[in-house]
Amino acid sequence: MQQLVIISILALISIVVNRILSVSQQLKLNKDLIKIKQRGPLSSVGLCKGITGSKVAVLIAEKNGDITEAYCIKGMAITSKFQLIKNFPYKNYEDILSSLEKKSKLSNQEKAWLMAAKYLKEGLESHAKSLYPQTKITN
């Protein structure tokens, strides 16, 4: 019985320490994300949560949808950071949509890329609507 109490206390301490360390890591990643998002006129973030952890995708794009930079999170727990993907295989958000929507099974990172591309598409469409609002013709 005493061993069970000790194990329970150790598990509780482990959870508390994990939470404390994760808060500081989240603050660091948020600061890095703000800096990354300022690198281009458009940015989009996709997230996919899984059993093995979360996958994050960040796309930096021009106003025509061409992707200039792509980032993902590399590392585990405290050591994780955003990493620039040097040879990103997609040139435009439409390339991501057409390629990944055809696949039947996606990895969590691919799901994050797909989500980021969809958000980028929505942002471009809403930006276009604000530039060219539909006008009503009245008689």
- Expressed as residue numbers, the domain containing 54 is 2-131
114 near 46, Cβ under 8 Å? Answer: yes
| Per-residue pLDDT tens over the stretch 66-125 | 999 999 988 766 678 899 999 999 999 999 999 999 999 999 999 999 999 999 999 888
| 100 within domain boundaries | yes
| Per-residue pLDDT tens over the stretch 25-53 | 888 888 999 999 899 899 999 999 888 77
What pLDDT, on a 0 to 100 scale, did the predictor assign at position 131? 64
| 49 within domain boundaries | yes
| 138 within domain boundaries | no
Crossing angle of helices 93-100/108-131, nearest 10°? 130
Q: Concatenated DSSP letters for 19-61?
A: HHHHHHHHHHHHHHHHHHHTTSSEEEEEEEEETTEEEEEEEEE
Count how many domains the chain has: 1
